[in-house]
Amino acid sequence: MRIKNLGVIDDAVVELSSGFTAVTGETGAGKTMVVTSLGLLCGGRADPGLVRAGTTGAVVEGRVSLPPQAPAARRAAEAGAELDEGALILSRTVSAEGRSRAHVGGRSAPVGLLAELGEELVAVHGQTDQQGLLRPARQREALDRYAGDAVAGPLAAYRETYERLRAAAAELTEITTRARERAREADLLRFGLEEIAAAEPRPGEDTELDAEAERLGHADALATAASAAHAALAGDPADPEGVDAGTLIAGAHRALEAVRSHDPALAALADRLAEIAILVTDVSGDLAGYADDLDADPRRLAAVEERRAVLTHLTRKYGENIDAVLAWAEKGAARLAELDSDDERIGELTAEHEALRGRLGELAQVLSEARTEAAGRFAEAVTAELTQLAMPHARIRVAVRQTEVPESSVGGEWVRLADGRTVAYGPHGADEIELLLAPHPGAQPRPIAKGASGGELSRVMLAIEVVFAGAAPVPTYLFDEVDAGVGGKAAVELGRRLAKLAETAQVVVVTHLPQVAAFADRHLVVEKTSDGSVTRSGVTVVHGEGRIRELSRMLAGQEDSALARAHAEELLATAARSLPAAHGGAGAERERRVQREHGGDRPDRPL
């Protein structure tokens, strides 16, 4: 990662080991900014207060190695991003005014995409997350994640049935509680349908009647015009001397016919005149027929206007024209049939509701059994971790309980389990999950927030985090000072457990414990300059002598203390010996990886 103008960091580059990276430094040196930077790259909230004073904005860039088939790589590709030699480039910019921009694989992207990718890339385990794990809902989610497919499959089926049950219950409630309103709607529909049926309108009838009314209303003018046009074309019998269009056209045709053989062009004109003569004869006949057939009966006009009034009454109430009125009637009939079948529908919904509730009870039972089995395995795993963290007598138990309710409860929010109990249910099942701790033999298990001291709680939460981390399908785990309150032998064991996790995943730990830092593959030290900033040279990889000096500072606050140096060397030797002995070939491979990545005891170098 490259971090610029974020908090106390002016400009620094952080290169993380593929195994276990420890980040240390004086209080206030900027270690937490490393965690904050990773959070920003994973879609975390952009706080303008993080921008370094006197600058316009902060920038965090990250290069993440990913195989092309990884879920995060596929999701980025869907968004149009491209891998750069097997790496995905992420970028986040935060302005001093609070604006935030994100880039994924060289393309501008919404911050939400970074959050989606972050869920696939990094699991954050910090003190804030510890407090989150004290909440029952978070404990249930964590247990379900730990259980894997054994819970995921039944839970998906449960949620589908749960949604169907809610839909059936909502429809049933609507029908029964809105009975009066639905009856009123049915009466209005029935009245409208009867009114339309009584009128018996035909599709397009209003348009036809409008045209007929227009014709009848101007019948005299139409008859006069048709007669005048007919006389002009065919002649007026009352005026023998009158010249009509037909006679004139016939004369013109005869004149051309006499000479058509002398010029083809003139012959064509003669043919066109013949066609005109035929057309004039046809039009003249049609005009005569039109005038004879024109109905000027005022009684027919009155009947048409009366019918138009009936149709207009319908279009004012049910649609802009008769076709729209008929469409309303079709929909209204379907809705009326639905309303009239309420009693039948209530019966169907009641039967469906009971069947779904029965099915939901079966799935809730399967979920409870799967969670109970996973709870036992999880409790054993956490208890084993606590033994390694100097709490050999502590015991973790995961309580999986249900709340019994009577069948007569308000709203009927209950399902029946296989043992006959009726219990409350929700979108995640009928179980209430609670982590309990018995810190010593004979102690009654109590909620972890109440059953452990401050130091014990840190170790309990660390054990839980490590176990949960193994269940999270992500390649990187970030632990932010979750070792607070841990020391001595427990701190050594903590370092060993984190190093073991680093055999199969990338682990980043911000720590103040030298016992933890001694187990790291790569040790980063964050240092401020004299002006209080962290520059490019302020994030340093330490090896050999430099690492001993940093561990001495963490142990005694004095880099040159002979006793602290001896203790630091002992811690490094213990870490180097314990992993190969404890984990065989995996530990030896880790030793070789450290040598490859750090080049043995090279001098300290800035990233």
Any idea what DSSP says for residue 439? Answer: -
- DSSP character string of 61-97: EEEEE--TTSHHHHHHHHTT---SSSEEEEEEEEETT
At residue 581 the predicted structure's pLDDT band, cuts being 50, 70 and 90, is very low
> N- to C-terminal Cα distance for the chain?
10
Cα(548)–Cα(568) distance, integer angstroms: 6
Alpha-helical (H) ranges within 472-529 are 488-501, 514-517
Indicate yes or no: pTM above 0.85.
no
- Please list, in sequence order, all residues whose beta carbon lies within 8 angstroms of the beta carbon of residue 361, skipping any fewer than 6 positions away: 415, 416, 417, 418
- Please list, in sequence order, all residues whose beta carbon lies within 8 angstroms of the beta carbon of residue 206, skipping any fewer than 6 positions away: 308, 311, 312, 315, 321, 322
Residue 599 clears pLDDT 50, i.e. is over it: no
pLDDT at 302: 86
| Mean pLDDT over the full length of the chain | 84
- Please list, in sequence order, all residues whose beta carbon lies within 8 angstroms of the beta carbon of residue 580, skipping any fewer than 6 positions away: 587, 588, 591
Alpha-carbon 352 to chain mean position: 30
pLDDT at 198: 92
Q: For residue 479, what are the β-bridge partners?
A: 125, 509
CB 104 within 8 A of CB 90: yes
CB 506 within 8 A of CB 476: yes
Q: What is the pLDDT of residues 314-373, one digit of tens each?
A: 999 999 999 999 999 999 999 888 887 777 778 888 899 899 999 999 999 999 999 999
Question: Hey, is 481 helix, strand or coil?
Answer: coil
Question: Hey, is 184 helix, strand or coil?
Answer: helix
CB 151 within 8 A of CB 144: yes
pLDDT at 130: 59
Q: Which residue has the tokens 């002979």?
A: 562
By the 10 Å C-beta count (0-12 exposed, 13-18 middle, 19+ buried), 515 is classed as buried
pLDDT at 196: 92
Q: What is the pLDDT of residues 206-256, one digit of tens each?
A: 888 888 788 787 877 887 888 888 888 877 666 666 678 888 888 888 888
pLDDT at 129: 59
Percent of the chain with pLDDT over 70: 88
Alpha-helical (H) ranges within 258-341 are 264-293, 298-318, 322-340
For the beta carbon of residue 307, count every other beta carbon within 10 angstroms.
Answer: 17
Residue 594 clears pLDDT 50, i.e. is over it: no
For the beta carbon of residue 97, count every other beta carbon within 10 angstroms.
Answer: 9
Least-confidence region, from 7-11, 99-103, 220-224: 220-224
At residue 603 the predicted structure's pLDDT band, cuts being 50, 70 and 90, is very low
pLDDT at 490: 79
**Beta strands at 2-6 and 9-13: parallel, antiparallel or unpaired:** antiparallel
Percent of the chain with pLDDT over 90: 33
Residue 537 clears pLDDT 70, i.e. is over it: no
pLDDT at 607: 44
The helix-helix angle for 342-388 and 149-177 (nearest 10°) equals: 150
- DSSP character string of 187-207: HHHHHHHHHHHHH---TTHHH
pLDDT at 126: 67
The helix-helix angle for 562-583 and 585-598 (nearest 10°) equals: 130
How far is CA 563 from each of CA 319, 523, 553, 555, 576, rounded to the nearest angstrom? 96, 21, 11, 10, 20
Alpha-helical (H) ranges within 502-534 are 514-517
- Please list, in sequence order, all residues whose beta carbon lies within 8 angstroms of the beta carbon of residue 64, skipping any fewer than 6 positions away: 72, 87, 88, 89, 90, 121
How far is CA 388 from each of CA 7, 309, 498, rounded to the nearest angstrom? 37, 94, 12
Question: Which residue type does 96 have?
Answer: A
Cα(469)–Cα(478) distance, integer angstroms: 10
pLDDT at 411: 60
pLDDT at 601: 42
Question: Which residue type does 607 have?
Answer: L
Q: Which two tokens stand for residue 3?
A: 């971090």
Check residue 486 and give left, alpha or beta (phi > 0: left; psi -120 to 50: alpha).
beta
pLDDT at 602: 41
Q: Half-sphere exposure (CA, 13 Å, Cβ side) for 492?
A: 15
Q: What is the pLDDT of residues 130-184, one digit of tens each?
A: 566 677 888 898 899 889 899 999 999 999 999 999 999 888 888 777 777 878 8
Cα(281)–Cα(37) distance, integer angstroms: 95
Q: What is the pLDDT of residues 450-491, one digit of tens each?
A: 766 666 776 787 787 778 766 666 788 888 876 776 777 778
Cα(553)–Cα(538) distance, integer angstroms: 17
Least-confidence region, from 182-191, 214-223, 407-416: 407-416
Q: What is the pLDDT of residues 419-451, one digit of tens each?
A: 889 999 999 999 999 999 998 888 889 888 776
pLDDT at 52: 86
- Please list, in sequence order, all residues whose beta carbon lies within 8 angstroms of the beta carbon of residue 47, skipping any fewer than 6 positions away: 94
pLDDT at 364: 95
Q: What is the pLDDT of residues 539-574, one digit of tens each?
A: 889 989 999 999 999 988 877 788 889 999 999 998
Check residue 129 and give left, alpha or beta (phi > 0: left; psi -120 to 50: alpha).
alpha
